[in-house]
Amino acid sequence: MIKGVKEGLLFLLDDQCEFEVLLAELQYKLEKTHQQLLTGPLVHIHVKLGSRAATDEQKEQLAAIIRSQGNLMIASMESAPPSVDSDQKSVNNLQVVTSIIRSGQTLEHDGDLLLIGDVNPGGTLLCSGDIYVLGALRGMAHAGVAGRQDVVIAASLMRPTQLRIADVVSRPPEEWMLGDAAMEFAYLEDGQMQIDKLSQLFRIRHNPIMFKGV
């Protein structure tokens, strides 16, 4: 499709057909159905490739056909970013918040959450994905609120009043908080909540057997 715009002409190219068919159709339009473009002053052309991942060689072939018409000059040639399905969007939907969650406050997010700040006692985090606290977690954190069990809760200082992943609630803090509780994360293993050093997170993310049956 060829459209007139303020900056010149916009070429909207089909991103679904075979590339050879696209070349032939473009040449036909320029030589047969849009001859009026070949006369008059210099025209700037903006080429939109849609989601087609064209190679440099293919782009040059397109450009050569357009440049062969004396008054057409390519100003831009762009591809749209690839589309992302809804499931992938939800996984990648990371929200970064810089704040302190005080007593009585609740922060909710659909996706993964990175909080740069502290969660004070009485404060609550609710998230459908992972929760990462770059600060002290002294309140309540619930990851996987929609039922996901392959999520984690991590904090620079892990001193929560309660942790929840999906419908699994952590043991009382005094039963598992040892040492300085620095840089730790919580995760589920065989339906039980476990705590480990954040440096071991790679074990969980690269071991699908850990979440068998999820």
On the question of pLDDT at 55 being above 80, the answer is yes
- pLDDT of 124 reads 96
99-146 per-position pLDDT tens digit: 999 999 999 999 999 999 999 999 999 999 999 999 999 999 999 999
172-186 per-position pLDDT tens digit: 666 666 566 788 999
Where are the domains positioned within the chain?
Answer: 2-78, 86-211
Top-ranked range on mean pLDDT: pick from 20-24, 29-33, 51-55: 20-24
- pLDDT of 38 reads 61
- pLDDT of 43 reads 82
Give the 3-state DSSP-derived string for the chain, with helices as H, strands as E and coil as C.
Answer: CEEEECCEEEEECCCCCCHHHHHHHHHHHHHHHCHHHHCCCCEEEEEECCCCCCCHHHHHHHHHHHHCCCCEEEEEEECCCCCCCHHHHHHHCEEEEECCECCCCEEEECCEEEEECCECCCCEEEECCCEEEEEEECCEEEECCCCCCCCCEEEEEECCCEEEECCEECCCHHHHCCCCCEEEEEEEECCEEEEEEHHHHHHHHCCHHHHCCC
Class of the CATH domain delimited by 86-211: mainly beta
**pTM score, two decimals?**
0.54
